[in-house]
A and B are shown apart, each in its own frame.
Chain A
Amino acid sequence: MDSWAEGHFRRMANRGERAVGRSVARKDGIGKATGRAVYADDLVFPGMLWGRTIRSTIPRGRVRGVRRAFDPAGFTVVDHHDIPGQNVIALLELDQPCLVANEIRHVAEPIMLLAHADRERLLAARVEIDYEGEPPLLDPEQSDVVFKHIRIEKGDADAALARADLIVEGTYRTGAQEHIYIEPNGVVAVLEDGGIAVHGSIQCPFYVHKALVTLLGDAVSHVRVVQTETGGGFGGKEEYPSMIAAHAALLALRSGRPVKIVYDRAEDMVATTKRHPSVVRHRTGVSRDGRIVAMDVDVLLDGGAYVTLSPVVLSRGAIHAAGPYRCDHTRIVGRAVMTNTPPNGAFRGFGAPQTQFAMEVHIDRVAEALGMDPVRVREINALRPGDTTATGQRLGDDCSALETLRQAVRRSRYHAKRAAAAGSNRGIGVSLFYHGSGFTGSGELRLASRAALELTEHGVRVLTSSTEIGQGTRTMHAQIVADALGIPYEDVEVAQPDTSRVPDSGPTVASRTCLVVGGILQRAAEEMRLRIGDATPAEHYRRHGPLRVDAEYEQPDWIRWDDDTYRGDAYATFGWGCNVAEVELDPVTCEVRPRRLTTVVDVGKAIHPALATGQIEGGTVQAVGYALLEHVVMRDGAMANGQLTNYTIPTTLDTPPIDVVLVENPYPGGPFGAKGLGELPMDGPAPALVNAIRSLGVDVREIPALPEVILRERERASGSQASGTEASRRVTAIDGARTDRDRVDA
């Protein structure tokens, strides 16, 4: 058969069996199911040393002296004097040192590095540090060191508040959260041809590349960063791997040997980033018929000791702080401040789970104050196509707030269950949420991400720096390319991210890997199709040899964004979602048992329905932990429960059945209509669960909603109700006993 016919018939055959929309076999499935997939700790290089980090034990102060209390035989030792370039971990700012020179700003700050071939000797080595301590700043509400300040203004919030029928105020708090990727941070640094290669568990290889180039300067001819199989990330391997990679690289340079550093769980928990704790204050003006007429929101994030990613976490948090609601008069003010704790950082949702927790619990309190059904208040105020968000972004037909709300309420039989549960210890709560896909505002334009395709003997190879960290990047990208090129999914392979071989596609964060990088790949595939005509990729390769097509991000022409005023189109599109949570409250122990979670999410197009469902289910359970279990206990600036024994994440026994419905309201600018979905499921469950607890008459406004929090609020409520009648109870609970914190003005 000639090539034209072969290609033609093959494409015709494929038309009935496209890859997109089908749950094809994961590219990495077999390796993972058999244990053959190679993670950082599985790598062994000849002559390899083990590396270890000596860290500060005080939250703030200075290093007066360091004494090496060990026999130096066989040891490689590195401190800040041994850094050939700049002593910084380059990210947004250059404020975080790689190794302490003098000033200490947090517990577990790296001071010295050791390496040895014998792990037992390495771990036994004692280093004594003499400190001059200073009183640490641990309360973000007392901090006046502001990393970033954001102000979003729409209309005139003050004037609208003055005109409102009712003003509802409230303060909401969220705690830190640890990522608990099951594979701790780990890298191996290896010298090669005058340069250095770092292999590791890394979400963003080019972030690490940038950090190493800044740190090592002229000491190496080149830097190469290779992502190994990565055992989970969730944002926790976005910025931190630059630090551990820097340490391994310094030890490798000093020793001339390969150096592996793999944290144990305790070090990973105590030393690496967490989700930013938050305090969010709301003042909302509403009309008697339930319309939100004014919003005044104040967001405070605890950034920890260095800037790292706090400005952008704050940005996403602030933009999402008004929730998926229409309001003409909105003011959102946000601050990320410094404290003497390890830097808080990227974690799935990136500020939006914190601010939407506050909004969604607050809107239930608005409903309580109005004596209205919480679903009805959301229905009245939910954003619709044609409405504008807080930043003034006009929404298109890809807005699905109402659709997800109605489906979730109907499917969960919310109203019937709420009525049936009255007077029992079973609560039910709802949340409505959205999540912007891709970098905020002009961020994607600045990134100018690239991706490429190259022909192989068997088909095409995808070249991007997007990492597979479990979410299915390889599979999903291969599906998009297969269909855009009209070839079988099996003929597409995906290159391992290696900064010397793949273009910089930007970081694997911000729900952008499908929407943005997938979109670039789709255009590259279309270009490749034009270049090879009707031939199959393999045929073209055999006849004409190698061919590579590169493509770069192109911003949709309608996007307008002003970084100074925070006005404009914050995101190309949003994912939308609604959760209904059903809980049972143990009246004696005050433990909350989640019984069922219904989650309806609009993802635009599920490129791979099983992967998409897996993202939603996994994110939902991570958020169940955030809401009910995961308590980072900080004592004197250090995590006091840095073990899985006492920092508990959901097990099978803590996890309720999760009913996932994927809505596909396409975003025309996304690959096959897809929107971002990775972070979306993190936003809704916590407020839905807390609202379910609130439906039992317990006024919880913070997470984690531990039994002691519920006990405290229950006792507070029973104290304030002792003299009140049933009818005056609501007013008493909000207006009387809580005047110190909150108020409802009629």
Chain B
Amino acid sequence: MKFTLNDRVVDVAAHPMQRLLDVLREECGLTGTKEGCGEGECGACTVLVDGAAVVSCLVPFAQVEGRAVRTIEGVDEGTLQRAFMDQVGAQCGICTPGMIMAALSLGPNPSREQMREALAGNLCRCTGYEAIFRAVRAAKRAGSGRHAPSPDAENTRA
């Protein structure tokens, strides 16, 4: 089955009902996407499908056929990741890839309320979220648009 993975078209043989999470981790070898709960509550497995954040533990592989999937491995090492380092937005790091994928959708200079809403589906047990807000705010102030690919841009690539 063909789909676009981090800007490259790939062909992966896997059961259509297999979880996208397992296909990414086991068939594609991309282990940056993490499993925290397997029931869509924690957000550690968040990836983008056609630019929209989804929890990959609840997505059957069949659903991504012909679509564009982006994982943490396909995010430029740029502002957002650097800000997570600088602001200590990552402690144990297990929620970090999912948190960064979810934060990509935020526009420039997000308010605290906008960040709370955008990240409400991503649990972090270490930081109490404050350092994550600091990281997102710092990155979005730097204002790099390329880390928030629009759905259209994703579709064009696909």
Residues of A within 8 A of B (CB): 23, 25-26, 28-39, 41-42, 179-184, 229-234, 264-265, 469-472, 610-611, 613-614, 617-622, 643-645, 649-653, 655, 657-658
Q: Check A231–B131 contact: CB distance below 8 A.
A: no
Q: Check B37–A265 contact: CB distance below 8 A.
A: yes
Distance, CA A182 to CA B132, complexed state (A): 16
Q: Check A618–B120 contact: CB distance below 8 A.
A: no
Give the residue name and chain of the B residue nearest to A183 (CB): B94
Q: Check B130–A39 contact: CB distance below 8 A.
A: no
Q: Check A232–B92 contact: CB distance below 8 A.
A: yes
Q: Check A614–B100 contact: CB distance below 8 A.
A: no
Q: Check B32–A651 contact: CB distance below 8 A.
A: no
Q: Check A36–B32 contact: CB distance below 8 A.
A: yes
Distance, CA A622 to CA B129, complexed state (A): 11
CB-CB under 8 A for A33 and B127, given A182-B42, A183-B36, A614-B88? no
Q: Check B37–A31 contact: CB distance below 8 A.
A: no
Distance, CA A33 to CA B115, complexed state (A): 18
Any A CB within 8 A of the CB of B109: no
7 further contact pairs, Cβ within 8 A, besides A180-B123, A621-B128: A33-B81, A183-B94, A234-B125, A471-B126, A651-B120, A652-B129, A653-B116
CB-CB under 8 A for A617 and B42, given A29-B90, A35-B33, A183-B34? no
Give the residue name and chain of the A residue nearest to B124 (CB): A182
Q: Check B93–A470 contact: CB distance below 8 A.
A: yes
Q: Which 3 A-B pairs rank lowest in CB-CB distance, beginning with the nearest?
A: A35-B32, A231-B94, A32-B93
Interface residues of B in 75-92 (CB under 8 A from A): 75, 77, 81-82, 84-92
CB distance from A629 to the nearest CB of B (A): 12
Q: Check A610–B88 contact: CB distance below 8 A.
A: yes
CB distance from B79 to the nearest CB of A (A): 11
CB-CB under 8 A for A35 and B31, given A29-B85, A30-B85? yes
Q: Check A28–B93 contact: CB distance below 8 A.
A: yes
Q: Check A644–B88 contact: CB distance below 8 A.
A: no
CB distance from A178 to the nearest CB of B (A): 10
Instruction: Please pick, from A180, A472, A652, the residue contacting B120 in the complex, using a CB distance under 8 A.
Output: A652
Q: Check A470–B130 contact: CB distance below 8 A.
A: no
CB distance from A269 to the nearest CB of B (A): 10
Any A CB within 8 A of the CB of B11: no
Give the residue name and chain of the A residue nearest to B75 (CB): A34
Q: Check B129–A621 contact: CB distance below 8 A.
A: yes
Q: Check B32–A470 contact: CB distance below 8 A.
A: no
Residues of B within 8 A of A (CB): 25, 30-39, 41-42, 44, 71-73, 75, 77, 81-82, 84-97, 100, 112, 115-117, 119-131
Q: Check B32–A182 contact: CB distance below 8 A.
A: no
Residue from the set A184, A469, A644 with the largest chain B CB neighbour count within 10 Å: A644
Q: Check B39–A35 contact: CB distance below 8 A.
A: no
Give the residue name and chain of the A residue nearest to B89 (CB): A33
Provide the residues of chain A in CB contact with B35, threshold 8 Å: 41
CB-CB under 8 A for A643 and B39, given A35-B73, A652-B129? yes
Give the residue name and chain of the B residue nearest to A179 (CB): B125
Q: Check B91–A644 contact: CB distance below 8 A.
A: no
Instruction: Please pick, from A181, A184, A617, A657, the residue contacting B131 in the complex, using a CB distance under 8 A.
Output: A617
Give the residue name and chain of the A residue nearest to B132 (CB): A652
Provide the residues of chain A in CB contact with B71, threshold 8 Å: 35
Q: Check B123–A182 contact: CB distance below 8 A.
A: yes
Q: Check A34–B72 contact: CB distance below 8 A.
A: yes
Instruction: Please pick, from A42, A234, A655, the residue contacting B128 in the complex, using a CB distance under 8 A.
Output: A655
Give the residue name and chain of the B residue nearest to A653 (CB): B120
Q: Check A231–B85 contact: CB distance below 8 A.
A: no
Give the residue name and chain of the A residue nearest to B112 (CB): A657
Instruction: Please pick, from B25, B85, B97, B125, the residue contacting A180 in the complex, using a CB distance under 8 A.
Output: B125
Provide the residues of chain B in CB contact with A42, threshold 8 Å: 25, 31
CB distance from A177 to the nearest CB of B (A): 12
Q: Check B128–A620 contact: CB distance below 8 A.
A: yes
Distance, CA A544 to CA B125, complexed state (A): 46
Give the residue name and chain of the A residue nearest to B73 (CB): A35
Q: Check A33–B90 contact: CB distance below 8 A.
A: yes
Q: Check A470–B126 contact: CB distance below 8 A.
A: yes
Give the residue name and chain of the B residue nearest to A38 (CB): B31
Instruction: Please pick, from A34, A38, A230, A653, the residue contacting B92 in the complex, using a CB distance under 8 A.
Output: A230
Q: Check A655–B39 contact: CB distance below 8 A.
A: no
Q: Check A610–B131 contact: CB distance below 8 A.
A: yes
Residue from the set A28, A32, A649 with the largest chain B CB neighbour count within 10 Å: A32
Q: Check B116–A182 contact: CB distance below 8 A.
A: no
Provide the residues of chain B in CB contact with A38, threshold 8 Å: 31
Provide the residues of chain A in CB contact with B85, threshold 8 Å: 25-26, 29-30, 32-33
CB-CB under 8 A for A34 and B32, given A26-B85, A231-B93, A645-B39? yes
Q: Check B90–A231 contact: CB distance below 8 A.
A: no
Distance, CA A230 to CA B77, complexed state (A): 22
Distance, CA A645 to CA B119, complexed state (A): 17
Provide the residues of chain B in CB contact with A37, threshold 8 Å: 93
Q: Check A182–B125 contact: CB distance below 8 A.
A: yes
Distance, CA A2 to CA B130, complexed state (A): 48
CB-CB under 8 A for A33 and B37, given A614-B127, A621-B129? no
A and B contact pairs by CB, cutoff 8 A, 29 listed: A31-B93, A33-B81, A33-B82, A33-B85, A33-B93, A33-B100, A34-B75, A37-B93, A38-B31, A39-B94, A41-B31, A180-B123, A180-B125, A181-B125, A182-B125, A183-B92, A229-B93, A232-B94, A610-B87, A613-B131, A618-B126, A621-B127, A622-B125, A643-B41, A644-B37, A651-B120, A652-B116, A652-B119, A655-B128
Provide the residues of chain A in CB contact with B93, threshold 8 Å: 28, 31-33, 37, 229, 231, 470
Q: Check B41–A617 contact: CB distance below 8 A.
A: no
Q: Check B123–A644 contact: CB distance below 8 A.
A: yes
Q: Check A618–B123 contact: CB distance below 8 A.
A: no
Residue from the set A23, A30, A33, A41 with the largest chain B CB neighbour count within 10 Å: A33
Q: Check B129–A469 contact: CB distance below 8 A.
A: no
Give the residue name and chain of the B residue nearest to A660 (CB): B130
CB distance from B73 to the nearest CB of A (A): 6
Give the residue name and chain of the B residue nearest to A269 (CB): B37
Distance, CA A33 to CA B35, complexed state (A): 16
CB distance from A233 to the nearest CB of B (A): 8
Distance, CA A421 to CA B151, complexed state (A): 47
CB-CB under 8 A for A265 and B129, given A181-B92, A649-B123? no
Provide the residues of chain B in CB contact with A652, threshold 8 Å: 115-117, 119-120, 122, 129
CB-CB under 8 A for A231 and B120, given A617-B127, A618-B127? no
Provide the residues of chain A in CB contact with B125, threshold 8 Å: 179-182, 232, 234, 618, 622, 649
Q: Check B88–A611 contact: CB distance below 8 A.
A: yes
CB distance from B103 to the nearest CB of A (A): 11
Provide the residues of chain B in CB contact with A621, threshold 8 Å: 127-129
Q: Check B128–A617 contact: CB distance below 8 A.
A: yes
CB distance from A630 to the nearest CB of B (A): 11
CB distance from B95 to the nearest CB of A (A): 5
CB distance from B29 to the nearest CB of A (A): 9
Q: Check A617–B130 contact: CB distance below 8 A.
A: yes
CB distance from B9 to the nearest CB of A (A): 21
